[in-house]
């Protein structure tokens, strides 16, 4: 029963991860955040493989899924540090999440709850010609905290998935080790039908 509950819970966690990362992928696409887009895509593939391994009893797939979750947690910790500007990171000047090929920011920067966007004219000399210079005000929740919340949720789901993945792999391994494919029926005292190799002759008496 515990093994079944572990599998079912892991399947549920994988499903929640898929829903959450797909939602995150949509907003990263809208913000042209190329590094998160790539990381999300890899995560979607690995979660699908982990889900397949859980359903089909494939421990190798589940182990690969568990290893990836460690890397996924590391990536999301970096994203949190980036938006909170830990160390030398700066969300205002660094273009790490866009591979330094564009100046796009998080989609939530302009579209967060309550945010009011105002165009600034004339634009500063350093502003690219194909970009508009704006100010954002009135946000109920700053965009960096929304991004941090997304990453924090991913970390929580990844930790839960890692724990249950290890548990399911342990259960599958123990089940395979405990089943004896050669002598599996000996413990039950099973004996096949026995054949007599010699025919026993008995004398016959005939009455006159």
pTM, two decimal places: 0.76
* Percentage of the chain lying above the pLDDT 70 cut: 71
Q: What's residue 203's pLDDT?
A: 56
Alpha-carbon gap, residue 158 to 155, rounded angstroms = 5
pLDDT at 170 over 80: yes
Q: How does DSSP classify residue 97?
A: G
pLDDT digits (tens, 9 = 90+) for 144-160: 999 999 999 999 999 99
pLDDT at 186 over 80: no
Q: Which of 7-16, 80-89, 193-202 has the lowest mean pLDDT?
A: 193-202
The CA-atom distances, in angstroms, between 176 and each of 10, 26, 71, 98, 123 are 20, 41, 29, 46, 68
Per-residue model confidence (pLDDT) at position 206: 56
Strand 116-119 to 134-137 pairing: antiparallel
> Sign of torsion, CA 92 93 95 97?
negative
Query: Is residue 134 very low, low, confident or very high in pLDDT (cuts 50, 70, 90)?
Result: low
Give pLDDT tens digits for 78-127.
999 998 988 777 776 667 777 666 666 788 888 888 888 777 666 555 45
Beta-carbon neighbour count of residue 35 at 10 Å? 17
Is the model's pLDDT at 163 over the cut of 80? Answer: yes
Q: What is the C-alpha separation between 7 and 51, in angstroms, rounded? A: 10
Number of other residues whose CB lies within 10 A of the CB of residue 23: 13
Mean pLDDT computed over every residue of the chain:
80
Residue 199 pLDDT greater than 60, yes or no: no
């Amino acid at each position: 029963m515990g093994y079944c509950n572990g599998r079912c819970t892991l399947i549920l966690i994988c499903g929640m991860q898929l829903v959450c990362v797909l939602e995150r992928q949509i907003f990263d696409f809208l913000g042209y955040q190329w590094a998160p887009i790539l990381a999300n895509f890899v995560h979607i593939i690995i979660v699908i493989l982990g889900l397949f391994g859980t359903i089909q009893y494939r421990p190798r797939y589940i182990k690969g899924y568990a290893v990836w979750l460690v890397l996924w947690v590391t990536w999301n910790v970096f994203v949190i540090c980036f938006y909170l500007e830990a160390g030398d990171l700066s969300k205002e000047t660094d273009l790490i999440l866009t591979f330094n090929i564009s100046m796009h920011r998080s989609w939530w920067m302009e579209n967060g709850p309550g945010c009011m966007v105002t165009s600034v004219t004339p634009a500063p000399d350093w502003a690219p010609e194909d970009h508009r210079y704006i100010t954002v005000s009135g946000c109920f929740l700053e965009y960096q905290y929304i991004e941090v919340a997304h990453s924090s949720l991913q970390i929580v789901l990844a930790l839960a998935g890692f724990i249950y993945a290890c548990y399911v792999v342990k259960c599958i391994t123990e089940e395979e080790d405990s089943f004896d494919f050669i002598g599996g029926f000996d413990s039950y005292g099973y004996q096949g039908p026995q054949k007599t190799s010699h025919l026993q002759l008995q004398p016959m008496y005939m009455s006159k």
